[in-house]
Amino acid sequence: MSILRNVKSLVPLFDRVLVQRVKPETKTASGIFLPESSVKEQNVAKVLAVGPGTVDINGNKVPVSVAPGDHVLTPPFGGSPVKVGEEDYTLYRDSEILAKINGE
Amino acid sequence: MSILRNVKSLVPLFDRVLVQRVKPETKTASGIFLPESSVKEQNVAKVLAVGPGTVDINGNKVPVSVAPGDHVLTPPFGGSPVKVGEEDYTLYRDSEILAKINGE
Amino acid sequence: MSILRNVKSLVPLFDRVLVQRVKPETKTASGIFLPESSVKEQNVAKVLAVGPGTVDINGNKVPVSVAPGDHVLTPPFGGSPVKVGEEDYTLYRDSEILAKINGE
Amino acid sequence: MSILRNVKSLVPLFDRVLVQRVKPETKTASGIFLPESSVKEQNVAKVLAVGPGTVDINGNKVPVSVAPGDHVLTPPFGGSPVKVGEEDYTLYRDSEILAKINGE
Amino acid sequence: MSILRNVKSLVPLFDRVLVQRVKPETKTASGIFLPESSVKEQNVAKVLAVGPGTVDINGNKVPVSVAPGDHVLTPPFGGSPVKVGEEDYTLYRDSEILAKINGE
Amino acid sequence: MSILRNVKSLVPLFDRVLVQRVKPETKTASGIFLPESSVKEQNVAKVLAVGPGTVDINGNKVPVSVAPGDHVLTPPFGGSPVKVGEEDYTLYRDSEILAKINGE
Amino acid sequence: MSILRNVKSLVPLFDRVLVQRVKPETKTASGIFLPESSVKEQNVAKVLAVGPGTVDINGNKVPVSVAPGDHVLTPPFGGSPVKVGEEDYTLYRDSEILAKINGE
C-alpha cells in the first residue's frame, strides 16, 4: 500500500504550487475525435494546492500569489514532476507561474 | 473547449509583461506586396497586460514600468512564448523590456 | 568497529533533513509478488532527523519546516547519500523538500 | 508604416543608455579616401537618450551617469542592438559604459 | 626541515574545519583481515581543529557548528586536501559538513 | 577627425581605473639592445585616470583605492582594452587592481 | 630599469595577501640530496605583505586575518602570480587562505 495514494494528501512547502496540467481537448463538443495535429498544446494548469509562502529577511510573510482552483499559465520547462496513481502533477515555485487565467 | 480562449483572460503575475509583437508591414500603403527581404525585422511589441509588480525587501511595492497600450522595444532573445488560438504572445519580466516607444 | 553503526546517531547540521526513501511495494497485501514494471517509483521518504535550522542575517532563527516522522516528497535528483550498514539514507536541505504528505 | 520610425521616439527604461556608434573617418579632411586598414576601430559612441535610472533597496534613486550628447567609450562586446530605418543603435546598461570622453 | 611538520600546528581560518577521515576497518576485532570489497566506504571524519567562525553583515559572530573531537559526516566531494607527513587531512567550510555523529 | 584623439579626454566612470602598461626595457642603460627572451614580462602599469568611485547600498561613497600617477600591478587577464592613436590602454575595475607599487 | 625591482615595494590592495611559497627541502640537514620523488609538495607559504582589508556594507572595516611573517596553508589552485626578478610570488584574497601554521 503506497503512502502517497491521493494527491489531496500532498501539502506543498514554502512557496511551492501543485498543479495539474489541463489536458487539451481531443474531441469536439459533439464527440468527433480531433486529429492530433489540431490539438493545441497549451501550458494551462489548474492549481490544486499551495504552500504557506516564504518569509523575507525582515521576517515578513510573503504569501503565494495563486490559490487552489485558479487556472494558471505555466512555463514550458521546469517544475518537479509528481506521479500519483496514473495521474501526473507538477510542483512549481510561485515565481515560476507566468500568469493567472481569469474565468469567464 | 479550451480554458484559455481569449488573451484578455491572461493576468500576468509579479512584474511580468504580456506583449504581442507588432508584425512588420508586408505591403505598402497602396497595397503593393513587399518582397520579404525588404521587410524590416524590429523587436517592437504592444503591451497587452502587466502584472501587479514586485515587493522589495523593505516591503515597498515596485510597480511595472510600462502600461497596457504602450509600444515597447523587446530584447531579441528570451521571454516565455504563449499561444492563444492562432496568435503568438510573449511574457517578459519588466526589467527585460529595453525601451518604451513614444507615440507621435 | 565502525563509528557510524546506527543511523540514530546522525545529527543533521543547519537546515539539513535526513530521510529514508520509502521502498515501493513489491508484493500485494496477500503476498503475491508484483512484476517490477508495475511497481510505481515515487520519491516518497520518511524524515528521520532534522537540523536545528539556520539563522537569518537579522539573527532570527529559521526552523526546519518538517519534523521527524513526517512523510515527504523529495526531488528526483540531488541530496547527499549516506550508507549506514546495508541501508541507504539521504540528506537534503530543508528548501529542497517539495511537499509534506499528510497521513490519513 | 512602422511604429518605430524615428530613433527619437525611443525612451530607454531603467538605467539603459541608447547610443549610436561614431563611424570612423574613411576619408581625410581634404577628401582623400583612406584605405580600410588605416581606419581606426574605436568603441566611441554618442549618447542619444538615457533611462530614468534605478531605485536602490533603500528607495533612493540612482540616476544614470551619462547624459544625451555625451560621447562615451563603450565595451567591445554586449549591449542590445536596435535598428531604426537604415541606422544601427545600441542600448547598454549604465554600468557597462566604460568612460566619458571630454570635449575639447 | 619542513615548516608543516605537525598537523597540530594548523589553525583553520574563518569557518574552516580541519578533519581526518576515519579509515574503514580492514580486519576484524579478532585480527582477521577483511577482503577489500566488504570494507564499507563511509565519509566519516574526526574534527581536529576549527576556525574562529565568520562575522555576519551586522557584525555578529557566527561560530562554527562543530568542535574538535566531534565525529562528522562529510560530503562525498569537495574540501581542500592537506598532506602532513604521510597522513591526509581535509579542510571544509563549516556549512559543507553534513551531520554530527553522536557518540554512544 | 576622431572624437577620441587624446587619452587625457577619457574620464572613467564608476570605479574604473585607466592604466597604461609600462613597457619592459629592451635595451640597457648604456644603449645595448637586450635579446627578447631576457626582457621580463611584468603586469606593471601606470594609472592615468580614475573614476569617481561607487556608492554602497547605504548611500556612502566608496572611493577608488588608487590615484593617477600610481604604479600598480594589474591582473594577467581581463580589463577592457582602449586604443588611442597608436597607444594601448586598459580600463580595470578598482577591485581588479592587485597591488600598488611604492616608489623608491 | 624595471619599476618593480623589489618585492618590498608591492603594497597589496583590499584584502589581498602577498605570499611566497616555501620551497620543499631537496637535501637533508647533513647535505645529502634527496631524490625528487621523496620531496613533499606542500602548499605552505610565508606572508610578505597584506592589504588594508575591506569595508562591509555597514561601513565597518574588515581587517585581513593574517599578518606579514605568518606561515600559511594556501589552496592548491588559484591566486594571481607575480614575478619579481627571478622569484615567484602569489597574491590571494584573504578568504582563500586555508589556515595559519603556528610556529613551534
Summarize pLDDT for E47-59 with one digit per residue, the tens: 999 999 998 878 8
Has residue B5 been placed in a domain?
A: no
On whether residue A67 sits in a domain, the answer given is yes
Which residues in chain D are closer than 8 Å to B65, comparing Cβ atoms? 13-14
Q: Is D41 helix (H, G, I), strand (E, B) or coil?
A: coil
pLDDT at F59 over 90: no
Higher pLDDT, B79 or B31: B79
Inter-chain residue contact E16 with G100, CB threshold 8 Å: no
Confirm whether D53 is domain-assigned: yes
* Residue A33 vs residue G7, higher pLDDT: G7
Q: How many domains does chain A have?
A: 1
Q: In this structure, are residues C47 and C13 in contact, taking their beta carbons and an 8 Å threshold?
A: no
The whole-number average pLDDT for the span C47-63 is 90
Flag if D42 and F6 touch (Cβ within 8 Å): no
For chain G, the C-alpha Rg in angstroms (whole number) is: 16
Lowest mean pLDDT among B78-87, C87-96, E29-38: E29-38
Which DSSP symbol is given to E96?
G
B51, B67 Cβ separation under 8 angstroms:
no
Residue of chain G whose Cα is closest to the Cα of E49: G99
Which of F60, F73, F101 faces G59 most closely, judged by CB atoms?
A: F60
Give the residue from B1, B2, B3 with the most A CB atoms within 10 Å of its CB, the best one to mutate: B3
Q: Which residue on chain C is closest to E26 by alpha carbon?
A: C1
Residue C75 lies in a domain: yes
Query: pLDDT above 90 covers what percent of chain G?
Result: 62
Chain D partners of F16 at a C-beta cutoff of 8 Å? 98-99
- CB F13 to CB D40 under 8 A? no
Range G77-102 average pLDDT: 94
Among G5, G80, G84, the residue with its CB nearest the CB of F76 is: G80
Shortest Cα distance, chain E CAs vs residue C80, angstroms: 7
In the 8-state DSSP scheme, what is residue F85? T
- pLDDT band at residue E14 using 50, 70 and 90 as cut-offs: very high
| Residue E18, pLDDT score | 98
Most confident of E29-33, E99-103, F90-94: F90-94
Supply the pLDDT for residue A41.
63
Q: Measured between CB atoms, which of G41, G43, G102 is closest to E9? A: G102
According to the model, what pLDDT value does residue D34 have? 64
Confidence of residue F11 (pLDDT cuts 50, 70, 90): very high
pLDDT at residue E57, rounded to an integer:
78
In a domain, G4, yes or no: no
Gap between the Cα atoms of A17 and A60, Å rounded? 20
Listed by number, the residues of chain G in 14-73 with a beta carbon closer than 8 Å to a beta carbon of chain E are: 22, 24-25, 29, 40-44, 56-58, 60, 62, 65-66, 71, 73
Residue G103 confidence class, pLDDT cut points 50, 70, 90:
confident
G2 contact residues in F (CB cutoff 8 A)? 24-25, 40, 42, 44
ipTM of the complex model: 0.85
Q: How confident is the model at residue B100 (pLDDT cuts 50, 70, 90)?
A: very high
Query: Residue E37: is its pLDDT beyond 70?
Result: no
Amino acid (1-letter code) at residue G11: V
Q: Are C28 and C35 in contact, with CB atoms under 8 Å apart?
A: no
From D4, D11, D59, residue closest to B42, measured CB to CB: D4
Q: Residues with Cβ < 8 Å from D49, sequence gap 6 or more? A: D8, D10, D11, D12, D17, D18, D68
Inter-chain CB pairs, A–C, below 8 Å: 69
Predicted confidence band of residue B75 (pLDDT cuts 50, 70, 90): very high
Are the beta carbons of D10 and B101 separated by less than 8 Å? yes
* Of C22, C29, C60, Cβ closest to residue A3: C22
Those residues of chain A that have pLDDT short of 70 are 1, 25-29, 33-41, 104
CB F45 within 8 A of CB F71: yes
How much is the average pLDDT of B9-32? Answer: 86
C-alpha cell at A84: 500519483
Kindly report the number of other CB atoms within 10 A of residue G51's CB atom.
22
Residue D40 has pLDDT above 90, yes or no: no
pLDDT at D37 over 60: no
Q: How far is CA E57 from the centre of its chain?
A: 28
- In the chain, the amino acid numbered A80 is S
Instruction: Suggest the residue from B55, B80, B95 to mutate for an interface test with chain A (most A CBs closer than 10 A).
Output: B80
- Angle value at C-alpha D38, between D36 and D40, nearest 5 degrees: 100
**How many Cβ atoms from other residues are within 10 Å of residue G4's Cβ?**
20
Quick one: closest CA in B to D80, which residue?
A: B75
Average pLDDT over residues G86-100: 96
Residue A99 has a CB neighbour count (10 Å cut-off) of 26
Q: Given a cut of 80, is residue B95 above it in pLDDT?
A: yes
CB burial string B58-77: b at 16+ within 10 A, e below: eeeeeebbbeeebbbbbeee
| Predicted confidence (pLDDT) at residue F14 exceeds the cutoff of 90 | yes
Q: Which of G9, G80, G84 sits opposite F98 (nearest CB)?
A: G80
* Closest alpha carbon within chain A to C61: A59
Domain limits at G90?
11-23+39-99
DSSP string of chain G, one letter each residue = --S---GGGEEE-TTEEEEEEPPPP-B-TTSPBPPGGGS----EEEEEEE---EE-TTS-EE--S--TT-EEEPPSS--EEEEETTEEEEEEEGGG--EEE---
Q: By the 8 A CB rule, do G48 and G90 touch? A: no
Residue E1 pLDDT class (50, 70, 90 cuts): low
pLDDT tens-digit readout, C11-54: 999 999 999 999 876 666 677 766 655 555 679 999 999 999 99
Q: Give me the CATH number covering residue B63.
A: 2.30.33.40
pLDDT band per the 50, 70, 90 thresholds, residue G94? very high
Contact assessment for residue B73 and residue D4, using Cβ atoms and an 8 Å cutoff: yes
Q: How confident is the model at residue G55 (pLDDT cuts 50, 70, 90)?
A: confident
For residue range F62-89, list pLDDT tens digits in order. 999 999 999 999 998 899 999 998 899 9
Look at residue D92 and tell me whether its pLDDT is greater than 60. Answer: yes
Q: Specify the pLDDT at position G89.
A: 96
Determine the average pLDDT of the residues in B7-15: 96
C-alpha cell at F93: 575595475
Please list every residue in chain B whose beta carbon sits closer than 8 Å to the beta carbon of residue A65.
13-14
Residue that wins the pLDDT comparison between F90 and G3: F90
Residue D15 to chain B, least CA–CA distance (Å): 10
Flag whether pLDDT at G33 surpasses 90: no
Q: pLDDT value at position B57? A: 77
CA distance B73 to G54: 41
pLDDT at G44 > cutoff 90? yes
Across the interface, whether the CB atoms of F3 and D24 are under 8 A apart is answered no
Which residue in B98, B102, B104 has the most chain D C-beta atoms within 10 A of its own C-beta, making it the best mutation to test that interface? B98
Q: Are B9 and A104 inside 8 Å of each other by CB?
A: yes
D11 touching F (Cβ < 8 Å): no
Which of G2, G10, G58 is opposite residue F99, by nearest beta carbon? Answer: G10
pLDDT at E25 over 80: no
Instruction: Locate B10 and state its grid cell.
Output: 491572461
Which residue of E lies nearest to C90 if distances are taken between CA atoms?
Answer: E98
Inside any domain, residue D36 = no
What's the average model confidence in pLDDT over E72-100?
Answer: 94
CB proximity list for A18: less than 8 A, separation 6 or greater: A7, A10, A12, A47, A48, A49, A50, A82, A89, A90, A91, C99
Residue G48's pLDDT band (boundaries 50, 70, 90)?
A: very high
Residue B27 lies in a domain: yes
C16 contact residues in E (CB cutoff 8 A)? 98-99
pLDDT at F58: 80
Q: Which residue has the cell 574604473?
A: F16
C-alpha distances (whole Å) from A11 to each of A14, A86, C73, F9 are: 10, 19, 9, 63
Q: Which of E8, E80, E84, E95 best probes binding to G when mutated, by most G CB atoms within 10 angstroms?
A: E80
State how far residue D2 is from chain F, nearest Cα, in angstroms. 33
The pLDDT of residue C99 is: 97
Subunits touching A (CB < 8 Å, at least 3 pairs)?
A: B, C
- B77 — pLDDT class (breaks 50, 70, 90): confident
Shortest CA gap D59–chain F (Å): 10
pLDDT band (50, 70, 90) for residue E91? very high
Pairing outcome for strands B87-93 and C99-101:
unpaired
Residues E80/E31, Cβ–Cβ less than 8 Å: no
Say what the pLDDT of residue D51 is: 97
- Per-residue confidence band for B23, with pLDDT thresholds at 50, 70 and 90: confident
